[in-house]
Amino acid sequence: MARFITFRFDDGFIDGARKAAAALHPSPASFFVVAGLVDGSARLDHIELFRGRNFGAVHEWRAMGELGHDVQPHGVSHSNFAELNAEQQRTEVRASVELVRRIHGGPYIFGFPYNNIVASLDLTSFGLSAAGFVTASSDEAVVFNRLGDPEFDRFRLRSWAVRERHFDGIVDQLDSLPEQSWTILAFHSLDGEGHEPWTSLGFARLLARVRAAGLQIISIRSMVAQLGDRRSREPSLPDSEVTR
């Protein structure tokens, strides 16, 4: 029996990613990168939070992967999928997965920008093993995946977007997580980067509380791989259901 937790960072701010990786060492994080910002095909200066920031290059993210961290696709242009037609949606997924294939050999998990999941997309056709996220804020009750329940949908993974201003409430709820739960904590970056960034000090305090609570830190990639391995060994054992 165990309680699992994942530290997820969106948008691929590599300076913040390096800080998070150093704080977490030797535990892994999951980073969702915007392909157009990594390969230079999209500047996205119309997004104020992206201006002047460093989003790394393929070789830098590959180095993060070699340290044990998880790097996953988050689209090409950080577009809201609700505003794209079907072909544009497919292009965003396909091209971003192609970039991440240059970083590691899978499994691949797609993170929808703005957390707007499009259920009509056949994501398995792009070689994806999972996708998300249905996300609640930390001013709401903690959201976690309950491992072992029969209705789990790995293409609607849920996460909890945590804000540093809610620190006390966050750690209280993490302390009370049940056994066989998997909680994905959603961040963007640290120290002034990205949407509602945490400070490095606050992140270190949160990490210390997570470890003191005995929560097992795991990447999304590793959890998805374990779920797949378990199903292949024990066909009758169900996946987990994401619950509130």
Structure tokens at 224: 């998805």
pLDDT band at 20 (very low <50, low <70, confident <90, very high): very high
CA-to-CA distance for 73 and 34, rounded, in angstroms? 7
pLDDT at residue 229, as a whole number: 58
Average pLDDT of the chain is: 92
pLDDT digits 0-9 by tens, 124-171: 999 999 999 999 999 999 999 998 888 889 999 999 999 999 999 999
Q: Write the CB contacts of 6 (distance below 8 Å, at least 6 apart in sequence).
A: 29, 30, 182, 183, 184, 185, 217, 218, 219, 220, 223
Structure tokens at 17: 């990613």
Structure tokens at 100: 């991440």
Instruction: Give me the half-sphere count of Cα atoms (radius 13 Å) on the Cβ side of residue 41.
Output: 13
- 235 pLDDT above the threshold of 60: no
Among left, alpha and beta (phi > 0; psi -120 to 50; other), residue 173 is alpha
DSSP track, 41-69: S---TTSGGGTT-----HHHHHHHHHTT-
Instruction: Give residue 136's domain range.
Output: 3-243
pLDDT digits 0-9 by tens, 30-55: 999 999 999 999 889 889 999 999 99
Count structural domains, the chain: 1
Question: The domain that contains 106 carries what CATH number?
Answer: 3.20.20.370
Report yes or no: 23 and 198 within 8 Å, Cβ to Cβ: no
- Is the pTM higher than 0.85? The answer reads yes
pLDDT digits 0-9 by tens, 156-213: 999 999 999 999 999 999 999 999 999 999 999 999 999 999 999 999 999 999 999 9
Strands 181-187 and 157-161: parallel
